[in-house]
Every structure is written in structure tokens, then in C-alpha cells.
Chains A and B, each alone.
Chain A
Amino acid sequence: SNGDASPTLTLAEHDHLAQIICKSHLETCQYLREELQEMSWQSFLQEEVEKYQNKPQEAMWQLCAVKITDAVQYVVEFAKRIDGFMDLCQNDQIVLLKAGSLEVIFVRMCRVFDSQNNTVYFDGKFASPDVFKSLGCDDLISSVFDFGQSICSLQLTEEEIALFSAFVLLSADRSWLREKLQVEKLQRKTESALQHILQKNHRDDGVLEKLRCKASALRALCGLHSEKLAAFRTVYPDAVRTLFPPLYKELFAA
């Protein structure tokens, strides 16, 4: 990288960047804080769990694909509001969203994850891993829940979630980027603002390193999702073609 890719921001600039990213995050969160507070954090009853478990595999995959697609649209809006994202060339905007939107969804999941009961908000109530049994990919589901537990244990504030999401989305090492340096510059600015906020919140020195580890865990998780989708598609090519949302196919099955 050159000097241009190592921005030095003043404290006020860090605060300003953090504020903008946090505002973008709050404006584009699927569930607002107030809504989350009103949620009764009610878990599915046993008969409801069984209803999901008895669904045909392709119907449960379709339901999850629809939920992921809904969440992706909010992530696209988040990306559009990040300072500098829309100044990137369109190829790079698409590359970053294709590679990073699901990762951001997994980061955002900590807002709707009940770590005490090991449940996550899904389809109106809180679901334990066994709700997803009919998907036929227990290892992916347990990895997602493990990730939920570990990110919840960091007890991130909304501002920290926002900056970490932007940091993940602006990963400059994604394949097929055309203007890598531009992305790198944005990511460094974001990382620097994240570091500033962590210090301001009196976080331990190790938190940033833990978040870097989470970023690689996210890649592994999304890699596993792609693997499972490919395997499912081999068995049910028509289900993917006819039942899955077009945006999901564009992002994950193209």
C-alpha cells in the first residue's frame, strides 16, 4: 500500500466517522432497539419446533433463503450509506456485497441472539438449533449458533456492531476487486475509527484482536454456507431454480 492508503484521522474525524456509520447501522437495522425491547423473547413451543422439523428439506431451505434475502436488502442499504462506498466503482460495490452481506447478517445476529437459551430470532419467535434440523446441515447450524454465542460474549455496543460490520463489509482482500487501494483506504479508516471507539469505551486491548478473529470465523461460516448450498443444489436443482428468491441466487448461487 502507499501513503494514501494509511489515513491519519484526528479524534474529531474518528468520532464523526463513527457517528455516521452508527447512524447508517441504526437506520438500516431490521429490528429497532425499541422493537427488540418490546419483543417477548418467546421461544417456539415443542409442537411448533416439530412443525419446522417435519417440513420437507427444500421447503425449509426456501424459508431460510427468503429470510436471508430480506436481511440482505437491509445490508445493501447500510452499505450505500457508508461514507465512500458509493464512490467505489460498481464492480467493487457488487464484489463487496456478494462476499460480505451474509457476514454482516451474522454480525447483526448478535442483536437478536439469546445467549442464555441459545436461541435466535427467526420467523416470529426465538428458535433453538433443533428448529433447523430439516435443513440437513447440522454442522452449519451449530457453527452459526457457536458464532452467535461467541460474538454475544463480547457484549458489543450498537456503535461497535456498526463499525465492525462496516469493517467486515469493506474487506480489501476480496477476490475480483478492481480498485483494491480505494477499498483498503476505506477499511483502514473504519478500523481506525473502531479502534478509537473501543478505546473510548474503555475496552480491553485484546478486543480488536478478538474481532479480527471473528472476521476470519465469518469467512469460514460463509464458506460452509456455500458448500451446503452447493450440495443441496446438486440434489434439488429445480427447488433452487424455481423456489429461491432471485436475489439469493444472484448472491450465492451464481
Chain B
Amino acid sequence: KEKHKILHRLLQNSTSPVEL
């Protein structure tokens, strides 16, 4: 998880950059 923390966060995020 530590090694892929950004990817982990993007996968957890319910709000997509597309919606933003």
C-alpha cells in the first residue's frame, strides 16, 4: 500500500477527476 499510495488513493476515491 505504501509503495502505491497514490494509486491506492485513486482507487479509493469515489469522486472521479472526470466529475470534478
Contacts and interface: CB of A to CB of B under 8 A. Distances in A.
A, B bound: yes
A246 B17 CA distance: 17
A212 interface: no
Majority SS at the chain A contact face? helix
Interface in A69-98: 73-74, 76-77, 80, 86, 90, 93-94, 97-98
Contacts of A171: none
A38 interface: no
Contact of B10 (A28, A73, A98): A73
Contacts of B11: 76, 80, 86, 90, 93-94, 97
A251 B11 CA distance: 14
Most buried by A among B3, B6, B10: B6
A154 B8 CA distance: 35
Interface residues of B, number: 12
Contacts of B5: 250
A254 interface: yes
Nearest to B6: A247
Interface string A50-76: 000000000000000000000001101
Interface size class of A (residues with CB under 8 A): 10 to 19
27 contacts: A28-B16, A28-B18, A73-B10, A74-B18, A76-B7, A76-B10, A76-B11, A77-B18, A80-B11, A86-B11, A90-B1, A90-B11, A93-B11, A94-B7, A94-B11, A97-B7, A97-B11, A98-B4, A98-B7, A246-B6, A247-B7, A250-B3, A250-B4, A250-B5, A250-B6, A250-B7, A251-B7
